[in-house]
A = this chain, B = another copy of it.
């Protein structure tokens, strides 16, 4: 086995630098999200679902039929993005679409029976997954994290 190789590293140290990438909150958030997302895919990947797809199904389960655009806002996806997710879910018959009779602009999305059954299977898995992700933190720390992240996300 070749050594794990910090081999090519040269400790050049340019000019300034009390700067560290690790101190940038965006970088930390990206890595934490990678971890959480990876945990979820490990558990629900066998269902061939991604985290955004799961979020979409879960939201429909919570709220019932929604227009494609509103659904997108509720799962934090742009119109062009939620469109593709809905198309994939529709192709697998997990959601169904119909026109809103009173507003011809809208496409209403809803879970199918199969979609509903799948979400009900997945919800406990996702809850367990969240627990796994939070293992490094104590109970009071988790509550603190939720508070802080919520305030960051909402601006």
Contacts and interface: CB of A to CB of B under 8 A. Distances in A.
Interface centre among A9, A21, A133, A155 (most CB of B within 10 A): A21
Given A19-B127, A29-B33, A70-B9, A14 B149 contact: no
Given A35-B155, A141-B148, A64 B11 contact: yes
Nearest to A68: B8
A42 interface: no
B150 A28 contact: yes
B55 A8 contact: no
Contacts of A108: 8
Contact of A62 (B21, B70, B76): B21
Interface in A100-155: 100, 103, 106, 108, 116, 120, 123, 126-127, 129-130, 133-134, 136-137, 141, 144-146, 148-155
A46 interface: no
A136 B55 CA distance: 26
A14 B106 contact: no
A126 to B, nearest CB: 6
A70 B134 CA distance: 28
A137 B149 CA distance: 10
A31 B27 CA distance: 14
A14 B61 CA distance: 7
A26 B40 contact: yes
